Structure 1
Amino acid sequence: MNGSRRRVRLMQIAAAVALVLTTAGCSGGLAGGGATASSSGPIKMGMLAPFSGSESAFGDYMKYGAQLAINEINDKGGIDGRKVELVVEDDACDATTAVAAANKLVTEGVDISVGGYCSGATLPTMPIFNSAKIPMIIPAANSNKLVEANMPGAFLINGTGTQQAESALKYAQKIGAKTVATIDDATAYAADLASSFRSQAEKAGETVAFKATITPGEHDYSSVATQLASAKPDMVYWTGYYQEGGLIARQAKDAGYTGVFMVGDGSVDAKFAEIAGKGYTDNVVGTFTQTPDMLKGADAWLASYKKVAGAEPGPYSTQSYDAVRVAAQGIKDAGSTDFTKVVAALTALKDFKTFAGPLTFTPERTPSAGGFVIVKIDPATGKFVLKDDLQG
């Protein structure tokens, strides 16, 4: 079964790479909105997000956050008198699907991309948008692999894996954890975050007592849970997604693990508690950026979001909202949708107000401050709420 999964995954990656090379070699940027830099008609913002597959819950969170920002921009007259439209495509958090969806956005003539949730699906789309001269404002995906790709038009709104790992280590030290562990699912985002945390922990004098990589999509992780319980680390950092995370948290507790079970931002969703079950999340905390319900004075924004979406916001609603605002500011400052001018304008942004705090991009086009806090699960609702802002 595992061998079959690996073969399927390799085939998917190979297909994705082939599509990327075809696009990079043949498109020449002619289909991209950024390349044509039209000065009339609506400005099209493209969004790739998961609307199917295991991460589909996040798609609507991102779409409606982006749509709220677009509505607000259009209500104020648009950008230099031009209305803004959101063009959405499903990437299913899958590399092959994402490549096809990115090509479709290029064909549809989007001027700028404001999507990207799973790093493994976002990474192969970067050369596609770059070849088409379409700038990318990535709201959620934050693997260091995205930074290492060094695409000149790609900017991250979310803090990097390095910054998130720093916050996890800071909390471990704050609670006096001396031994730590990591479990990941081998995806680009999860493996990168786990590796960064281990590296920083070891440099800080922490002992990495255990590390493991699991196969996503399975239901029995009792072997890893038993090994974790036997290693007895003070804190384990699960860096994958909530489907497997909830199961591992439950099975680890059943195996006798009593330490802190920390999760990365890919697991911060109410479904984690639903999967783990009642009584299995008392020791669970997570690294995440603050959501509107954690912020003072956000009532009006929450009400506006509910009016657009017909539901409560979730993880990455605010980041997607801010991605649109950042994109709009870049286009406005550039006075054009021209790729080079927009990239220059985005690079020059300084202390732009976002939910995560003032945004200034580093030379690597990442946020200068990660904005990560520690969250915990409210036993009454299953939702993650603020535990520690790491300021004290």
Structure 2
Amino acid sequence: MNSPPSPSGAEHTDRSSIRLGALVPLTRPGWVEAGRHLLAGLDLAVREVNDAGGIDGRPLELVVRDTAADPERAAAAVDELAHLGVAAVVGEYHSVVARAAAARADALGVPFLCSSAVLDALTEEPTEWVARVAPAQSHGWRIYADFLLRAGRRRIAVATQPSVYWASGTRVLRDHLAPRGGTVLELDATLTPEALCDALVDHGATALLLLVGHPEPAVPIVRAVRGDRRLAEILIGAPAGQPEFAEWAAALGEDGAGIPFLRYLPERLGPLGERVGKELRGRLGEAPSFVAFEGWDTVAVLAEVLRSHGTDRAAVAESWPRVAVEGTRGPIRFSRTPGVGVWQWTWTPVQVVDRDPAEPDRFRILHAG
């Protein structure tokens, strides 16, 4: 399996190190920019732990594997990392990929702290081996549905592709909107952008949500809708967060502004968040996304677990309900949540934001939950 060198130290060179396996999408068809931000957060936190003396004098070593948004590749990486003796596995952005990694970690008895994937059913059955710092999809997407209702948008169309993640999101929206007078119409994203625009007009949709990949087919759909005068009043939304990253603005320019999406940050960062954000900006050369903060928080949690409970895998997994860590976005504790089979931070702050049409590099907070 091809992989980049470990950012925090060469593999196999320091037998005294405590290894953490990291799953990150770093090549296409993975969302590479999200992977870059996630890895920046993970690596910064590892370096800070090591600069402070490591874990009882032992350095952390991040052993990185590129998942490339491939579930089979992720499962194989968990096998390899387990063989390498990692104390735990961290990371992953794509929900379907994280689900495969979680299943394999559960089967092997390897702790997995998921950083960014939100699918509620991260595992088929409840497990003690997996925990997550990202919010469950049902939590965030209900907040997004409330935003749509407050904005007076009740006839919702979703352009969607086949995926358990998109299907789950559509179900969350429909279940939340229907009792409140909203409707959800599914449109196949394989329609030509022009045919999709015709369907939006025919159904009188007041909002179109992009439950599709980026840049294809999201970018041509946005361009087509923005260019159709019949749809001048329609709201385009992207709850999965596609507009968060700079490549969205680079691809769409002004057309990419004014498209609300979910972001997992508080309205104001505290002193820790501000400090980490400044360090991340320096590493990334741009404003850090919430995904970078998720990476940092993941390692902060595991560092405290390893200090308090040791490096034995079973001890790490048993520690989830006793975690109490100050993260960049608030105090992190894990609990059991109905419908979620993993230990869950309930809840990270959730915002609905967009890029300001008057200044696309600036984000506006539209709604918070």
Residues of 1 paired with 2:355 and 2:80: CA distance? 39
Residue from 343, 354, 359 that aligns with 2:332: 359
Pairing partner for 1:170 from 146, 167, 174: 146
> Where does residue 251 of structure 1 map in the other structure?
224
Equivalent AA in structure 2 for residue 122 of structure 1: A
Partner of 2:106: 130
1:179 Cα deviation after fit: 2.1
Secondary structure at the counterpart of residue 326 of structure 2: coil
Aligned to 1:61: 37
Q: In the TM superposition, what is the alpha-carbon distance from 1:349 to its structure 2 partner?
A: 2.1
RMSD between aligned residues: 2.5
Name the counterpart of 2:321: 347
| Structure 1 residues 330 and 378: CA distance shift in structure 2, 3 A | same
Which 10-residue stretch deviates more, 382-391 or 186-195? 382-391
Q: Deviations over 1:274-312 (max 9, x none)?
A: 33x3442344111111289x6365543233224445554
Q: 2:95 aligns with which of 116, 119, 122?
A: 119
Q: Secondary structure, in 3 states, of the residue corresponding to 1:377?
A: strand
* Aligned residue in 1 for 2:11: none
Task: Give the 3 Å change call, closer, same or farther, for CA 45–287 of structure 1 in structure 2.
Answer: same
Give distance in 2, aligned partners of 1:120 and 1:375. Answer: 25
Change (3 A) 1:121 1:252: same
Unaligned segments of structure 1, at least 5 residues: 1-39
- Alpha-carbon deviations, 1:184-207, whole Å to 9, x = none? 222232221122111111133322
Counterparts of 1:19-38 in structure 2, within 5 Å, are none
Of 63, 80, 83, the match for 1:107: 83
More strand by share: 2
Q: Which amino acid aligns with 2:294?
A: Q
Larger displacement relative to structure 2 (357-366 or 65-74)? 357-366
Helix, strand or coil at the partner of 2:327: coil
The answer to whether the Cα contact below 8 Å between 1:137 and 1:155 also exists between their aligned partners in 2 is yes
Letter aligned with residue 220 of structure 2: L
Of 42, 47, 55, the match for 1:71: 47
Structure 2 CA distance for partners of 1:381 and 1:247, relative to 1, 3 Å: farther
1:185-232 CA-to-partner distances (Å, cap 9, x unmatched) read: 222322211221111111333223x212425xx9x4332232123323
| Most deviating of 264-273 and 132-141 | 264-273
The 3-state SS of whatever aligns with 2:209 is: strand
Question: Given residue 385 of structure 1, which amino acid in structure 2 is its aligned partner?
Answer: F
- Tell me whether 1:290 sits opposite 2:268 in the alignment: no
Q: 1:271 & 1:307 partners in 2: Cα distance?
A: 18
Deviates more, 1:120-129 or 1:224-233: 224-233
Instruction: Decide whether aligned partners of structure 1 residues 380 and 66 sit closer, same or farther in structure 2, where only a CA change above 3 A counts.
Output: farther
Q: 1:312-363, CA deviations, whole angstroms, 9 ceiling, x for partnerless residues?
A: 43341000110111111222221x222332122112224x322333322221
Q: Which runs of 4+ in 1 moved over 6 A?
A: none
What displacement does 1:379 show? 4.1
Q: Which residue of 1 aligns with 2:64?
A: 88
Cα distance in 2, alignment partners of residues 311 and 177 from structure 1: 33
TM-score (norm 2): 0.84
Contact 2:78-2:89 at 8 Å conserved across structures: no
1:235 maps to which of 207, 210, 213: 207
Q: 1:68 is aligned with what amino acid?
A: L
Give the SS at the match of 1:176. coil
Identity of aligned residues (%): 20
Alignment of 1:198-209 (within 5 A): 198-208=174-184
In structure 1, how many angstroms separate the alpha carbons of the residues matched to 2:83 and 2:358? Answer: 47
- Structure 1 residues 285 and 311, CA gap change in structure 2 (3 angstroms): closer
Aligned to 2:7: none
User: In structure 1, how many angstroms separate the alpha carbons of the residues matched to 2:289 and 2:302?
Assistant: 21
Tell me whether 371-380 or 194-203 shows the greater mean CA deviation. Answer: 371-380
| Whole-Å separation in 2 of the counterparts to 1:149 and 1:264 | 26
Residue by residue over 1:360-390, the C-alpha shift from the partner in whole angstroms, topping out at 9 and shown as x without a partner, is 2221412212421011113466446242342
Do structure 1's residue 371 and structure 2's residue 336 form an aligned pair?
no
| Counterparts of 2:105 and 2:63, CA distance in 1 | 15
* 1:147 Cα deviation after fit: 4.8
Asked whether the equivalents of residues 240 and 264 of structure 1 are also in contact (C-alpha less than 8 Å), the reply is no
Q: Which amino acid aligns with 1:317?
A: A
